[in-house]
């Protein structure tokens, strides 16, 4: 399999076509952005941490019966993935109130949400990613009712798997975002699962271990990413796997 041309370049990842039409290469770049692209930087090594964590979680989820686009890791910052027809929805699962939920609704930061809350945003820079509801998703023909049911059920299943895994490593999964696509009519988990797409707190201290460190200048971003990547890739208790 050979990398051919650039298909798409987002804020922190680039996707390349290969000589196999069913396979793309996804490269995690060192770029980091926040606040709809208003804050931007390049942090050496960041792409590798996010690629390592994402590929680990995709493999782990596959072992637990979740279909993902992951095929294999190509190098430290790139992976081969199945070519999906992406659905422009951001599926956000929240276990604890934080971020925009606290800004927009009368929740206290840190308040547990039980059962977890799913929020779905329309992935559209032009419209600034507005929140959708089921009727809008159907009216915009973004997904069928059957697809949406499957997307929500899969997002909740992923939440349970990740939450338990992270909790055993002293990390609280506050919230995270998933994106799905279609492959020959089947719903498949795509995109990434990384420190850019999850909100993670240290279970003991409550310290942020994710992109919030960058968003709000809470300390050394790369140190936070390195610490959490090491914990995620370790066995419970701290020993490296
Ligand atoms: P949210 O609290 O809605 O937004 P903000 O990060 O602005 O406070 O984010 C919830 C989670 O979803 C958080 O872990 C980051 C992730 N997320 C993304 O990865 N991309 C996005 O475009 C959005 C809206 C959220």
Q: 176-200: per-residue pLDDT in tens?
A: 999 999 999 999 999 999 999 999 9
- Ligand 1 atom nearest to 197, measured from its CA: 19
CA of 176 to the centre of ligand 1 (A): 7
Asked if the structure places residue 202 within a domain, the reply is yes
pTM (2 decimals)? 0.96
Query: Are residues 52 and 147 located together in one domain of the fold?
Result: no
- Ligand 1 atom nearest to 175, measured from its CA: 14
Handedness of CA 142, 93, 155, 192 (dihedral sign): positive
Query: Are residues 103 and 62 located together in one domain of the fold?
Result: no
- Domain of residue 92: give its range: 85-220
- Ligand 1 atom nearest to 35, measured from its CA: 7
Total domains in the chain come to 2
CA of 94 to the centre of ligand 1 (A): 10
Question: Which of 82, 111, 133 is the last residue before a domain boundary?
Answer: 82
Query: Are residues 89 and 76 located together in one domain of the fold?
Result: no
Query: Are residues 73 and 104 located together in one domain of the fold?
Result: no
Query: Are residues 144 and 162 located together in one domain of the fold?
Result: yes
> Taking phi first (over 0 means left), then psi (-120 to 50 degrees means alpha), and beta for anything else, what does residue 93 get?
beta
Question: Which of 82, 101, 136 is the last residue before a domain boundary?
Answer: 82
**Domain of 192: which CATH number?**
3.30.470.20
With pLDDT > 70 as the criterion, what percentage of the chain qualifies? 98
Asked if the structure places residue 18 within a domain, the reply is yes
- Measured from CB, residues less than 6 Å from any atom of ligand 1 are 90, 92, 99-101, 121, 129, 175-177, 197-199
Q: 114-141: per-residue pLDDT in tens?
A: 999 999 999 998 999 999 999 999 999 9
CA of 182 to the centre of ligand 1 (A): 23
Q: If you compute the radius of gyration of the chain from its CA atoms, what whole number of angstroms results? A: 17
């Amino acid at each position: 399999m050979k990398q051919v041309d650039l298909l798409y370049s987002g804020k922190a990842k680039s996707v390349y076509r290969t000589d196999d039409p069913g396979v793309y290469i996804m490269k995690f770049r060192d770029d980091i952005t926040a606040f709809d692209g208003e804050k931007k930087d390049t942090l050496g090594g960041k792409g590798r941490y996010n690629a390592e964590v994402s590929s680990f979680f995709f493999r782990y989820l596959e072992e637990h019966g979740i279909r993902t686009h992951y095929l294999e890791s190509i190098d430290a910052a790139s992976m081969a993935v199945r070519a999906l027809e992406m659905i422009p929805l951001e599926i956000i699962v929240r276990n604890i109130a934080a971020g925009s939920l606290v800004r927009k609704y009368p929740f206290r930061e840190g308040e547990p949400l039980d059962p977890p809350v799913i929020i779905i945003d329309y992935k559209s820079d032009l419209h600034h990613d507005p929140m959708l509801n089921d009727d809008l998703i159907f009216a915009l023909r973004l997904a069928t009712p059957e697809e949406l049911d499957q997307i929500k059920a899969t997002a909740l299943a992923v939440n349970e798997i990740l939450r338990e895994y992270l909790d055993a490593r002293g990390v609280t999964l506050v919230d995270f975002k998933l994106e799905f696509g279609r492959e020959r009519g089947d719903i498949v988990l795509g995109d990434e699962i990384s420190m850019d797409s999850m909100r993670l707190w240290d279970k003991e201290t409550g310290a942020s271990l994710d992109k919030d460190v960058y968003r709000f200048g809470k300390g050394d971003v790369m140190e936070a990413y390195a610490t959490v990547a090491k914990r995620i890739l370790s066995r419970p208790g701290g020993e490296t796997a």
